[in-house]
Amino acid sequence: MIAVLVINLFIMIKMNSSQTEELGRMRIELVAADLQNRLDVCTDSLNKIGTRLSERIEQGYTEEDLRTFLSEEKKKEIASTGRACLNIFCVTPDGRVLISDMATPEDYVLQDRDWYKALMSAPADEEYISSVYEDAFTDEMCFTVAAAFDDGKFLLGMDYNMSDIQSYISKMSGENYGDAMIVNRDGTIAGYNDESVVGEKISDQFADYREAFLLVSSNSGSAVTESRDGGIIFGSCTENDWYLLLKISRFELYKSAYAQLILNSIIIIALVAVIALFYVMGYRERYRAEDALKYRNEFISNMSDKFRTPLNKIVEYADAMKNSGSDTGPVDMISLEAANLGEMIDNIISPRLFLQGRMSARIPRQERNAAT
């Protein structure tokens, strides 16, 4: 029984561990899919605005008209994103930089912008999503979504702050579920429970996350690894190479499984205890029955002696009277009745005849009559 209990607990631990890890993997993959949808919404907005902007450029809109158009689109984007959109800007075919709601700073050098360098080296038909950086105009941490339109004749970009991205940290970590981090392809931290580190590179301070980041990036965007403090890090990534990392302590990860195991163990132990109790009770009842049977046999043996002693005396007196030559009629009657009484005593105290009587009582009366 104990061996069965141990084996059962071992199987439950293995099953619960694999199921719990699978739930952790599913949790981060769902958040990664949700983040990818959010980035897709940004690129969709970029393409829609780019299509309308292309029409206006072909129609010969002035610089002021184009800037007004960008400002109107920015207001719409702010309303749809909950103020996550910071700026919309474009680079016209003649190399002018137009920024919504502001004049282009004199010191703005297009060729020095990281997003511009990356976009120029990217395939012409693909959108580019930058890593996190500090916006030069607002000093906010942001990222840029940009693309080239009309075969590279003009460029369009949109800056977004990190408010939306930080919400995915909350979705991953939940209420004290664990620490979560979002990392760009170049190792820049795009989101973390401590927002003060957003925009920094993964350093030795985040050695566990750095190792998990390298592992996820080399394993087709999905991995599970163990942290140095004994926790577990789940990793996943979006199509745009934004890496999501979730670090959970083993206790937090398995506490529901542990609770279930403890409950199951208590139930099993209680069942074993009940079975053992019934076994002990049955064992005790057996000995009690054996003692009662022994006592009964001793009682019957003693009663047999006590019944037969006076009966034997009567029979002896009757035999003596017969031998004396006196009237034998009453003596014969005494002997007959004494014999009958002896037979009745034998029937009362004999276990064999008692059992035969019980068996005959169970046989229907018709069968007993037929047998006689």
Q: Provide the pLDDT for residue 176.
A: 57
298-341 tens-digit pLDDT: 777 776 666 667 767 777 776 777 676 665 666 667 777 777 77
The residue type found at 342 is: G
Question: Cα-flanking dihedrals φ and ψ of residue 104, to 5°?
Answer: -70, 125
The residue type found at 23 is: L
Q: Provide the pLDDT for residue 321.
A: 72
Q: Are 226 and 165 contacting, i.e. CB atoms less than 8 angstroms apart?
A: no
Q: State how far the Cα of 219 lies from the Cα of 221, in Å rounded to an integer.
A: 5
Q: Provide the pLDDT for residue 36.
A: 93
Domains of the chain: 29-164 (3.30.450.20), 278-359 (1.10.287)
**What's the predicted TM-score (pTM) here?**
0.65
Q: Are 340 and 314 contacting, i.e. CB atoms less than 8 angstroms apart?
A: no
194-248 tens-digit pLDDT: 888 999 998 777 888 998 898 888 876 778 888 887 788 899 999 888 999 998 8
Q: State how far the Cα of 99 lies from the Cα of 96, in Å rounded to an integer.
A: 10
3-state secondary structure of 178: coil
Alpha helices (H) along the chain: 2-58, 63-81, 114-121, 163-173, 207-218, 250-323, 329-349, 351-362, 365-371
Q: Provide the pLDDT for residue 282.
A: 84
